[in-house]
Structure 1
């Protein structure tokens, strides 16, 4: 992808308190809202049968609630930076967190499936503003040499929430009924809104024109791509309609890119794409590396429960061990990356991560659970350096006035890789392999090996990064006394 012409906006004038803002406080706030958003996306899975019974529909029809959440939250991502700059990030984050709580209340009181889907879509809209807006502020106030440290804090919930979501949803549904999985958000959103008012600096709003054409093109492209990927994974034996949807979405994506390149004040500025490190992490090898990670999030719980006959609780323990391994390495990541550099860290770390992920295919029914847990812990350790390093490197060379567009572009890349990973995981599991029984381990092993193979391709692409990539972040650049990044 060629870099677009430099059409950067005039930088926003910071308020007096922005330069003195504590990036650690902002990182904690981003971690909180990210945890809230990801938890809500995963906690619903174990409640679907009870919800379907109350709505009087088949459990499979509840999938539209999950698909609607993913589509809406992704389609409205391009609005996040524009709304934050236009109205002020602290105000937007506070209102979106409170709106998330209102939407949760509506979901809990849904009398019909149609009402639930509408409430779920409203919830997704609020979610699309929460984490990106928080990240925008965090990136603006954090000095480059502290970026790894702050992002290690802010991204931790992405590891924890998917693990505790399903078992928490099961417990709440069984003990208090399915509305409780939404009602639990009410006190959390009040805490989040108070934290946003207290911890985020006050940044002055800007007067910006709204690019309606750009929004329609981007939102339509993302919706078609994600829905097409979802349908392809669910029905690999009927690929015609999904491929048409994805093809149409791809055409609209090209049209959106060309439109944004021509617009001086487009909805999503493309200036950050001129940086090789940003392109590589958001849409290059970084995307290839994220795809198997998201696919495994679907495959592993099914593998442990259906192929090995483990209980949901025991499968959760194995996934918890995996994430604990990741967390165990996080305090040392800054030191590791300063010592070996980003390129070596990503190349070696990704190779280890994919080899470790593929090794799960060698698990057998006779394998003791403690040995499985130990292996999952080591696998989590293997992914810690490449994942945190990748998140930090994405913004290493991005200038202050490029951050709004970069934040949205990176979020879109993450959403697309998540959709692709889940779709591919489902596709491999739905292929006609083995005896066709859910307990047959062959489809899961094929999925594990195939997803790991896809991720291995990123190793060779990471080798093309400059040897000094991310030097500003690791503190090895000539000037390490850079002031906090702010617009």
Structure 2
């Protein structure tokens, strides 16, 4: 029992750092005009700061496992918190766009080590019967931070200055550092050869893939150049997969893909996460551009998602214990799809109360689906496979976050072309079309869930 309580405390610590990392990916979006004015540049130029952060988050991930083994998880986790704090301070002190971008790169690199290393420590010490509760703690930042980020960023930008967005990380970092020294176990280093070829292939492939996706989301960039970069990234990642499966000590083991439950979390789950990532992008735009709501009203409506995420956490574990993973993924997946369809039928005449109810239920369905998928993915993973499985899972989540925004923007573009090729201003119908396409992604994911074995994940429910 004492060991279980300590693991739970470590899970809360890692979740808090995950919240910091995820928050910084979205928090500056509403403060972009203020930051641009401070640096005397155009608002669209600040997007390089967002891209730099996302790219650095992805590139450092493949090496996190080897670094944790070589220098111990306790040291790497603590060092990454310190680096994240220093980079946040540099962001706040930035006087020009170049300094700001370099500081964001450092922030992203720190985050790419901080969260996966911490999650590996927690998951490798979690007994199967406690996996649902532990995953429930670990995943909440991924649901809440994208919703809270624009609200917090807008508050600081409007009532204080944008600098406080990054200053906030410093006291949070000191608290996390204190508990890291107190909770994380001290272990001996594990010496093994570094897979340099694997690191170069994974890093370069991910860099090109994510950068190409980022370029697609910016309308001023050439779509063909962007797609070419994405394709080149895919080719290099294919080479990386071949390399990782043909050497003795790969940088990342792909053994987890031999488990059906992990494959479902990775592939079917990716479609769900892409859909969930697109909602915080599409809904505020629809409320402001389509309905003419103020930024404050649009942000306040999204808080209904936040409340649903939190409250439905309370029933997540009992639901899984009672109905099983496959049934929950199918039934809750239908509810999630229905919530996106209902959002697509919002109009200027729809009452605020109706919107809040739909968004609240959607937030609850998001919470249940996210936790269920992540728990199922690790249900058959052995302790020796946790590190690589966790890195692969984290990589998928980072890529899904980028794809959610890219596909959301792409659906809007397709809708505007369909409704009027000469249109320069998005209409409510464009957002409705995009949300229906997002609902379609969740429906496609159902194929993966329906074909799951009925007893999938029963070992973590205490059923033999």
- Mark yes or no: TM-score above 0.5: yes
Counterpart among 199, 217, 227 of residue 183 in structure 2: 199
Counterpart among 451, 454, 459 of residue 467 in structure 1: 454
SS of equivalent residue, structure 2 residue 157? helix
Worse-matched range after superposition: 450-459 or 437-446: 437-446
Please provide the CA RMSD for this pair: 1.7
Aligned to 1:262: 246
Q: Give structure 1 stretches of 5+ with no counterpart.
A: 1-17, 478-487
Pairwise CA distance, 1:175: 3.1
Of Structure 1 and Structure 2, the greater helix share is in 2
Contact 1:21–1:141 under 8 Å retained in 2: no
Contact 2:147–2:305 under 8 Å retained in 1: no
Aligned to 1:443: 430
CA gap of 1:319–1:310, structure 2 versus 1, over 3 A, is same
Pairwise CA distance, 1:255: 0.3
Aligned to 2:388: 405
CA gap of 1:20–1:43, structure 2 versus 1, over 3 A, is closer
Matches within 5 A, 1:205-354: 205-235=189-219, 238-282=222-266, 284-354=267-337
Deviations 1:216-258 (A, max 9, x none): 1001111111111122233399421111111101110110000
Counterpart among 371, 377, 391 of residue 374 in structure 2: 391
Say whether 1:35 aligns with 2:22: no
SS of equivalent residue, structure 2 residue 368? helix
Deviations 1:191-215 (A, max 9, x none): 1111111122223321121111101
CA gap of 1:439–1:253, structure 2 versus 1, over 3 A, is closer
Contact 1:151–1:392 under 8 Å retained in 2: yes
Q: Which has the higher contact order (CA 8 A, sep 6+)?
A: 1
Contact 2:139–2:370 under 8 Å retained in 1: no
Aligned to 1:382: 365
Deviations 1:286-330 (A, max 9, x none): 111111111112111111121112222222222111221122221
TM normalised by structure 1 equals 0.91
SS of equivalent residue, structure 1 residue 155? helix
Distance 2:206 2:28 in 1: 23
Distance 1:236 1:465 in 2: 42
Counterpart among 87, 90, 105 of residue 106 in structure 1: 90
Counterpart among 423, 441, 444 of residue 454 in structure 1: 441
Pairwise CA distance, 1:171: 2.2
SS of equivalent residue, structure 1 residue 177? coil
Distance 2:361 2:180 in 1: 36
Q: Give structure 2 stretches of 5+ with no counterpart.
A: none
TM normalised by structure 2 equals 0.95
Distance 1:384 1:266 in 2: 34
Contact 1:45–1:166 under 8 Å retained in 2: yes
Say whether 1:66 aligns with 2:50: yes
CA gap of 1:213–1:275, structure 2 versus 1, over 3 A, is same
Between Structure 1 and Structure 2, how many residues are aligned?
459
